[in-house]
Structure 1
Amino acid sequence: MSDNIEKYLQETVGLLVNIKKMPDEQLEKLPLYLRHAYRYNLLESEGQSFILTENDDVISKTAGQLKKQSNAIRQYFGMPIVLVINNQSAQLKRKMMSLLEKVQNSRSNIATI
């Protein structure tokens, strides 16, 4: 899956990334419910590091669950995360896009003050 993400980022936005497996000792920081909910990798690009989380659960998560879990993961690792969601429903896609638009609008409002 990591190869697909690297290829996608290169082809769509021209971003070169390096994706490495997250060390087990770092994963041990997470509570069990988060440790087994995602696959974790370290994504590095242009001097920035991100936690790459890949959700491949058969059971769909709600937008609220994804938001809550991504915030918890960010707090545990102390760095921004990139959330890759596989097998998403149309309803979840719409809800996530709505949440993303709200975040972008709030950032643009802050930037113009």
Structure 2
Amino acid sequence: MKKQINTINAPQAIGPYSQAISINNMLFISGQIPANPETREIVTEISEATHQVMKNLQAILTEAGADFSHVVKTTIFLKDMNDFAVVNEIYASYFQDGVYPARETVQVAKLPSDVNVEISMIAFK
């Protein structure tokens, strides 16, 4: 059975999509941008922006009864691949068990709200 996951602790969807969908013990999390969920302000500095994205993802995982150890696949979208090392180091720090999910990182021409980083995830519960 498909279930919509929504939390006020992550930015609300601004279009026709859900923060996440849970189905058959799988969790599909929409790409999160570095928006503060309380103020909707966009964090622009790349290290702070990456932390904000990861906090938004963590809030959705928590709402779904999961955590980063449940993540099996991620996609990182970067506006500038020169930010890769900074994003990679911060991203890795959230996976405490040392078992990293499968992942791809791609540079894109433009992201929503002209942000520098967006990350989506797939997890199991």
State the TM-score, normalized to the length of structure 1: 0.43
Question: Which structure ranks higher in relative contact order (CA pairs < 8 Å, sequence separation ≥ 6)?
Answer: 2
State the TM-score, normalized to the length of structure 2: 0.40
- In terms of fraction of residues, the more strand-rich structure is 2
User: Which protein shows a greater Rg?
Assistant: 1
- In terms of fraction of residues, the more helix-rich structure is 1
